[in-house]
Amino acid sequence: MKNNDDITRCIGAASAAFGRIEPCLWNELGVHLSTKVAVYTAVVIATLLYGCESWTTYRCHIRSLDLFDMRRLRHIARIKRQDTIPNMKELSRCKISGTEAFIIRAQLRWAGHVSRMLDNILRKTAIWLRPRGRPLLCYKYNREANMKSTDIDPKTWENHQIEVAICLPHRRAAF
């Protein structure tokens, strides 16, 4: 992810997708919460996190994505601002993981895909190496932090089979 403008653009696109669905689904009383959350995940979260496999996320990016996500989930679940329900309780009520978990899962899935590529492919070397003059936090370091947060050893991860559907704990990775 290059800068905050890209995050703002992703949030704007996801907000537009959410707004298009609002009159026909979110405000309907006869639709179950699980159905609404499934549509939300398939449409809004997919729009919000499109291409997140290659993002280098900072804590401020995660906070803004989480803020958008929790506001929309509270709207879907009809929870008012005055209700003091913690985010984790709301996520468990909707049976969904947070945006950081989605990003980590997608990045680990992508890392597994790239590691299985042939070694002579230019894309593989371009992704893992840190070019001169780039910011200190690059994709490689972000991937290693994600692996450590999910109890995967970054040194031996290529030797073991990594499942695509990783069950991520609800904890934050320190970047």
pLDDT score for 174 = 40
Output the pLDDT for position 133: 60
Looking at residue 17, what DSSP letter applies? H
Q: Quick one: pLDDT at residue 132?
A: 62
Digit-coded pLDDT (tens) for 119-145: 655 555 555 555 566 555 666 777 788
Cα–Cα distance measured from residue 120 to residue 82, given in angstroms and rounded to the nearest whole number: 57
pLDDT tens column, 90-109: 888 888 888 888 998 888 88
- Structure tokens, 95: 């049976």
The reported pLDDT for the residue numbered 33 is 87
Residue numbers in the chain where pLDDT is lower than 50: 1, 161-175
Question: Which contacts (CB < 8 Å, 24+ apart) does range 43-46 have?
Answer: 43/17, 43/18, 44/14, 44/17, 44/18, 44/72, 45/14, 45/69, 45/99, 45/102
What does the block give as tokens for 45?
């979260």
pLDDT score recorded for residue 118: 61
Look at residue 119 and give its three-state secondary structure: coil
